Chain A
Amino acid sequence: DQQVKQNSPSLRVQEGRISILNCDYTNSMFDYFLWYKKYPAEGPTFLISISSIKDKNEDGRFTVFLNKSAKHLSLHIVPSQPGDSAVYFCAAILEYSGGGADGLTFGKGTHLIIQP
């Protein structure tokens, strides 16, 4: 039973436009939500996080929005650049586990392709 779902395996966006990656979750007890970015043949890198008590967090071109009533979060990238082409993983964590990564649940990822 997948607790974190990324229903779009891939997304194509034109360079300069906004990219919106979506993530749904089922467990209302999650305390933090994280986004990781992964290039081919490399390990994921941490991108941005949001606490469950917030509804928005912004870092440069990246903004994450959280809608707790809908159990939905989204990552916005504005403007999209060619270097943003990668797989983006949504992840959620339960703080009761100490916030440790053994309590981290990943989605299957969305492959973002930025077209010139």
Chain B
Amino acid sequence: EADIYQTPRYLVIGTGKKITLECSQTMGHDKMYWYQQDPGMELHLIHYSYGVNSTEKGDLSSESTVSRIRTEHFPLTLESARPSHTSQYLCASSERDRGFEKLFFGSGTQLSVL
């Protein structure tokens, strides 16, 4: 099993603040992802990376940015948080399992922007 860690677990901040959500994994996975999920809704991919210095936007438009300077670290940054950014943010890494990449998720960050 992959070990993947997200901090903080919960974050309540005011509008306009800059925030960084941390994500680290210890399994040496090249591929990492950020998902956004609201209650009763599907998981939406907002960013992904297939290796160091590689980042791509997902299918859901997001005002956040990511970086991948080290294999194990994939932080997500919001320059100016707004109430519309309130959501659960899930980080994941993956490894090959037959014909697909199996995802391993962190515990998530529940973000509330007031």
Chain A residues in contact with chain B, CB under 8 A? Answer: 2, 4, 9, 31-32, 34, 36, 41-46, 49, 51, 89, 93, 95, 98-102, 104-109
Contacts and interface: CB of A to CB of B under 8 A. Distances in A.
A100 B101 contact: yes
Contacts, number: 84
Interface of B: 4, 6, 9, 31, 33, 40-45, 48, 50, 56, 58, 90-92, 94, 96-108, 110
Which 10 pairs from chain A and chain B are nearest by CB? A43-B105, A99-B100, A106-B42, A106-B43, A32-B100, A108-B42, A101-B101, A93-B100, A99-B99, A44-B105
Given A101-B31, A109-B42, A46 B103 contact: yes
A101 B48 contact: yes
B102 A46 contact: yes
Given A89-B42, A102-B48, A31 B105 contact: no
A41 B9 contact: yes
Given A102-B56, A102-B58, A51 B104 contact: no
Determine chain B's interface SS by DSSP, over half rule. strand
Given A41-B110, A43-B90, A99 B105 contact: no
A36 B90 CA distance: 14
